[in-house]
């Protein structure tokens, strides 16, 4: 469910007409719905109740500080994978004891930042990282709470670029070596083992891979406790997929996911942490764009729009689908025609959709690319020297620009010319 609906023939975000935002902000722009973000977060908290739990939003999916504050005010924790994301969480007012630090390449500087600023735990990805964290924490006279991310060698049956739990992936340590690595962790100064971490991928559309991974985690929990380790938290990662299309093949619901967690690890007496990103933010955001030209090709027609692959790279990078709709609701039974929907960048890969059926459109018409809240703005760039697009947050009948479009002068001011030129 989301809060982008037609009202009186116009597409609205909650109670704000998107055309009104476009008139004030210009296109293209991202728009997020507070009501959708809130509801999707609450679905997870409801699904895990009454187990002790913390829902940590995966900042990598959508990192705007206003969005993070919206979720943080609801009680969400944050899952960060860089020092920059850590600082965004803190800027949003999220306390350190609700921030989990993940990622395979944590630097000494990032470890120092999180230890001195406050952290719930580090999710350790490798033995070298574990040893470095021990040195940093011990040098500060501090103790770093850790989980160790285990790789369960489970096929998430998702896109190969977002699979993270198979033995050939770069993430975690082989679960077969977990007891050995936990034994070393117990000997290192400055570390305190608090739990186990696992994450098998993103955009999962079935529960079976989760179940296979979580059963392995349950078995490991018993083994580690028998070895004398305190396992009080299970970080089960994220990855539950969202419906990018309006067909009947929707991914499992958070309530079903919660029931699976209770069935597989709910009797272990552990606090449960999960790290959803896409399911909270994905359908809470859209990208609004204006048609620049309608180009009649030899064997197809093109809608050339002012958004491009630098604004939303998922279709070019992953071949991803986004539903595309007009901001003016077509009449019931209106004739549709196929268009290739493309942006202005000088690459054929700058294509959002091919042969997509839409009502007849013309220059100046507005369209929306749905389900663009996750991995949209955060992956954008200034390729072709195109400014980053604004981000807008809607709350009821109000909206605010939460990231402004930079001017060309601001973009150019970041470059410097050496004195010899």
Domain ranges of the chain: 4-31+282-413, 103-274
Determine contact, residues 376/28, Cβ cutoff 8 Å.
Answer: no
pLDDT computed for residue 245 by the predictor = 76
Q: What is the pLDDT of residue 247?
A: 62
- Regarding beta strands 366-369 and 99-101, do their DSSP bridges make them parallel or antiparallel, or are they unpaired? unpaired
* Euclidean distance between the first and the last CA atom of the chain, given in angstroms as a whole number: 56
- Among 213, 100, 222, 92, which residue's Cα sits nearest to residue 158? 213
- As a whole number, mean pLDDT of residues 153-163 equals 58
- Which range (153-157, 211-215, 372-376) has the least confidence? 153-157
Nearest Cα to Cα of residue 15 among 29, 40, 35: 35
DSSP 141: T
CA-nearest of 27, 21, 10 to 394 is: 21
Strands in 10-13's sheet, in edge-to-edge order, are: 4-7, 10-13, 16-17
Residue 346 has a pLDDT of 93
The chain-wide mean pLDDT, for the chain, equals 94
Give me the mean pLDDT over the 84-108 stretch: 97
Residue 227 CA to residue 224 CA, distance in Å, equals 5
Backbone conformation region of residue 185, classed left if phi is above 0, alpha if psi is from -120 to 50, else beta: alpha
Could you give the CA distance from residue 65 to residue 45 in angstroms, rounded to a whole number? 21
| Residues 237 and 200 sit within 8 Å (Cβ to Cβ) | yes
**What would the mean pLDDT of 75-83 be, rounded to a whole number?**
98
Its pTM stands at 0.94
Q: What is the bridge-based pairing of β-strands 336-342 and 301-305? A: parallel
Measured distance CA(297)–CA(354) in Å, rounded: 13
Domain covering 4-31+282-413 assigned CATH 2.40.37.10 in the classification:
yes
Lowest pLDDT segment from 240-244, 298-302, 369-373:
240-244
* Kind of pairing between the strands at 301-305 and 398-403: unpaired
The reply to whether 346 belongs to the active site is yes
| Lowest mean pLDDT, pick from 57-61, 201-205, 245-249, 347-351 | 245-249
Q: What are phi and psi of 132, to 5 degrees?
A: -65, -45
pLDDT digits (tens, 9 = 90+) for 181-232: 999 999 999 999 999 999 988 788 889 999 999 999 999 999 999 999 999 9
Which one-letter DSSP state was computed for residue 240? Answer: B
Closest CA to 313 of 277, 279, 286, 351: 351
Beta strand 301-305 pairing with 285-296 = antiparallel
Can you tell me whether residue 57 is helix, strand or coil? strand
pLDDT at 122 over 60: yes
Residues 154, 167: Cα–Cα separation, whole Å: 8
Q: Which fold has domain 103-274?
A: TIM Barrel (3.20.20)
Q: How many CB atoms lie within 10 A of CB 107?
A: 14
Question: What pLDDT shows up at residue 163?
Answer: 47
Q: Phi then psi for 15, rounded to 5 degrees? A: -110, 25
> Three-state DSSP class for 192?
strand
pLDDT at 111 exceeding the cut of 70: yes
pLDDT of residue 158: 53
* Whole-angstrom distance, CA of residue 402 vs CA of residue 231: 40
Alpha-carbon span 128 to 110, nearest angstrom: 15
pLDDT of residue 202: 74
Can you give the pLDDT at residue 171?
76
User: Tell me: the pLDDT tens digits for 19-74?
Assistant: 999 999 999 999 999 999 999 999 999 999 999 999 999 999 999 999 999 999 99
Mean pLDDT of 295-299: 89
Mean pLDDT calculated for residue range 289-312: 95
φ and ψ at residue 407, rounded to 5 degrees: -80, 165
Asked if residue 7 has pLDDT above 80, the reply is yes
Q: Which of 31, 56, 270, 346 is catalytic?
A: 346
């Amino acid at each position: 469910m989301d809060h982008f609906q037609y009202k009186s023939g116009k597409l609205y975000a909650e109670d704000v007409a998107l055309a009104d935002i476009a008139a004030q902000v210009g296109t293209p722009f991202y728009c997020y719905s507070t009501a959708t973000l809130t509801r999707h977060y609450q679905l997870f908290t409801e699904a895990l109740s009454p187990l002790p739990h913390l829902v940590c939003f995966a900042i990598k999916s959508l990192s705007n500080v206003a969005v993070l504050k919206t979720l943080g005010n609801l009680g969400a924790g944050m899952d960060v994978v860089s020092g920059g994301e850590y600082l965004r969480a803190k800027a949003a007012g999220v306390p350190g004891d609700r921030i989990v630090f993940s990622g395979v390449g944590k630097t000494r500087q990032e470890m120092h930042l999180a230890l001195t600023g406050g952290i719930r735990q580090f999710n350790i990805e490798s033995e070298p990282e574990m040893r470095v964290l021990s040195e940093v924490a011990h040098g500060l006279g501090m103790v770093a709470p850790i989980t160790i991310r285990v790789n369960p060698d489970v096929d998430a049956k998702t896109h190969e670029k977002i699979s993270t739990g198979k033995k050939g992936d770069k993430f975690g340590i082989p679960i077969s070596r977990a007891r050995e690595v936990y034994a070393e962790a117990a000997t290192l100064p400055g570390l305190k083992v608090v739990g186990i971490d696992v994450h098998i991928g993103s955009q999962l559309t079935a529960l079976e891979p989760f179940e296979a991974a979580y059963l392995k985690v349950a078995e490991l929990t018993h083994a580690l406790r028998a070895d004398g380790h305190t396992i009080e938290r299970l970080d089960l990662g994220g990855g539950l997929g969202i419906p990018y299309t309006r067909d009947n093949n929707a991914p499992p619901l958070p309530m079903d996911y919660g029931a699976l967690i209770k069935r597989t690890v709910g009797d272990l007496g552990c606090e449960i942490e999960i790290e959803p990103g896409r399911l909270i933010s994905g359908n809470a955001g859209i990208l609004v764009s204006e048609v620049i030209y309608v180009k009649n090709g030899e064997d197809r027609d093109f809608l050339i729009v002012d958004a491009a692959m630098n604004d939303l790279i998922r279709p070019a990078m992953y071949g991803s689908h986004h539903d595309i709709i007009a901001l003016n609701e077509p009449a019931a039974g209106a004739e549709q025609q196929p268009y290739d929907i493309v942006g202005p960048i000088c690459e054929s890969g700058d294509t959002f959709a091919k042969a997509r059926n839409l009502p007849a459109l013309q220059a100046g018409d507005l369209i929306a690319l749905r389900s663009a809240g996750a991995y949209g703005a955060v992956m954008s760039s200034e390729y072709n020297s195109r400014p980053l697009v604004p981000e807008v947050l809607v709350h009821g009948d109000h909206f605010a620009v939460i990231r402004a479009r930079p001017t060309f002068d601001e973009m150019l001011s970041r470059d410097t010319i050496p004195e010899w030129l």
